[in-house]
Amino acid sequence: MESLRSKKGFLCDMDGVIYKGNQLLPGVREFVEWLYQENKQFLFLTNSSGKTPRELQQKLARMGLEVAENHFYTSALATAKFLSHQSPGCSAYVIGEPGLFNALHDANITFNDVDPDYVVIGETINYNYSLICRAMNHVLNGAKLIGTNTDLTGPSESGIIPACRALVAPVEITTGKSAYYVGKPNPLMMRTGLQILGIHSGETAMIGDRMDTDIIAGIESGLDPVLVLSGVTSREQIEQYPYRPRLILEGVGDIPMA
């Protein structure tokens, strides 16, 4: 069986893999030191669209882990890249947090609440009936509906909370239009990650804690799928899925020895 240590690159999920809440998980510091020492190519991926790479870098720094800003890639950046390739110079009505607005702005996508080309929805705590109505009417008037990711729920300090797909659902239901979701498990995000790192899928491992996003995305993108049990998935739950990771580890601290 091929050793993980021989891989040139690593795409790693963040929540449940690198940290939980505001706490680094066991073995993460040693794993990151190993990545740097061995000159591995790596990206920390997150389906969350709310934070910018700099904000994610600072979040880890507050936990005592220094990682350069260019090692972070979010579903907001993936969404902005997708739209700028599909329709350069397009406009969008956006529901989300600053990370999503910043990514779209940097991709030369203008914000438009009159006749947008797209309605783009990411996670946000500022979600209300008025936003749903405006998004719905824009879609009924021809705007294409985009979701930054397919996560229905996500973790928080106070427990499970609604995530992107739960916020997109009212607009899908009221318009009869299905959104296109850009983040994991869409292989688009994995392929872009590989392009950023400049390596081939066969040389790269996908490390994640969720079977329905991380592991299936790794499998469908030709990456080496590795599940860590430090997040939301238990060994018993793995049996519920018709596909399997190649390796199951307790956490990323086991990778330098795997």
Q: Which residues are catalytic?
A: 13, 15
Q: What is the DSSP string of 130-194?
A: HHHHHHHHHHHTTPEEEES---SEEEETTEEEE-HHHHHHHHHHHH--PPEE-STTSHHHHHHHH
Residue 163: closest CA among 210, 189, 125: 125
Distance in angstroms (rounded) separating the CA atoms of residues 244 and 25: 24
- Maximum separation of any 2 CA atoms in the chain, in Å: 57
Distance in angstroms (rounded) separating the CA atoms of residues 229 and 78: 26
Classify burial at 85, counting beta carbons within 10 Å of its beta carbon; exposed 0-12, middle 13-18, buried 19 or more. Answer: exposed
Read off φ and ψ for residue 44, nearest 5 degrees: -95, 120
DSSP helix/strand/coil, 41? strand
